[in-house]
Copies of this chain bind each other. A is one copy, B any other.
Amino acid sequence: MSANSRLTIAAHALAWIGLYQRQGHEVATSEQIATSANTNPVVIRRLLGELRRAGLVESRRGVGAGWSLARELESMTLLDVYEAVEPGPLFAMHRTTPDQGCVVGHGIQPAMQSIYEGIEETVRRELARVTLANVLRDVLAAPR
């Protein structure tokens, strides 16, 4: 599977902002987060922009600008993040319509569709069980 790292980077950014705020800072910059994630600030801004549209973070411009959490980490789940940054489905159908004159070609898509929907629902439930506060706790618990 050509998996991407969007969910990972988004969770990284949120955990970083959350910890930074716990340390008494008001806002975090994309520059700081990008350094921690070892990537480009624009990549972080793009992802945080999607999280802002989902109501998870807020941004401030001008002097003293940066990003802050819109909600507590405790009330934010990985499902919220996933839905904000991953639009597409986990499994894809045929790129071209199968032969509708063939019994298998005709019935395969509805059959697979309902299986895939069940799996995606399960994944969503798993993601919903993990809050970003859980993630940050695990991050801080990592052996040094």
> Which A positions have Cβ atoms within 8 angstroms of B?
1-5, 7-9, 11-12, 15-16, 19, 35-39, 78, 86-99, 102-108, 110-112, 114-115, 118-119, 122-123, 126-127, 130, 135-136, 138-142, 144
Please list 12 pairs of residues, one from A and one from B, whose beta carbons are closer than 8 Å in the complex, sorted by A's number. A1-B89, A2-B2, A4-B92, A5-B95, A8-B92, A8-B94, A8-B112, A11-B112, A16-B102, A36-B99, A37-B105, A107-B141
Closest residue of chain B to A111 (Cβ to Cβ) is: B138
Q: Is the pair B15, A88 in contact by a Cβ cutoff of 8 Å?
A: no
In the complex, which residues of chain B have a beta carbon less than 8 angstroms from the beta carbon of A12? 94, 98, 104-105, 108
Decide: A111 near B139, CB < 8 A? Known: A37-B105, A103-B19, A105-B38: yes
Closest residue of chain B to A99 (Cβ to Cβ) is: B36
Contacting A4 at CB < 8 Å: which of B1, B9, B98, B130? B1
> Interface of chain A, helix or strand or loop or mixed?
helix
In the complex, which residues of chain B have a beta carbon less than 8 angstroms from the beta carbon of A88? 1-3
Contacting A112 at CB < 8 Å: which of B2, B92, B102, B135? B135
In the complex, which residues of chain B have a beta carbon less than 8 angstroms from the beta carbon of A3? 1, 88-92
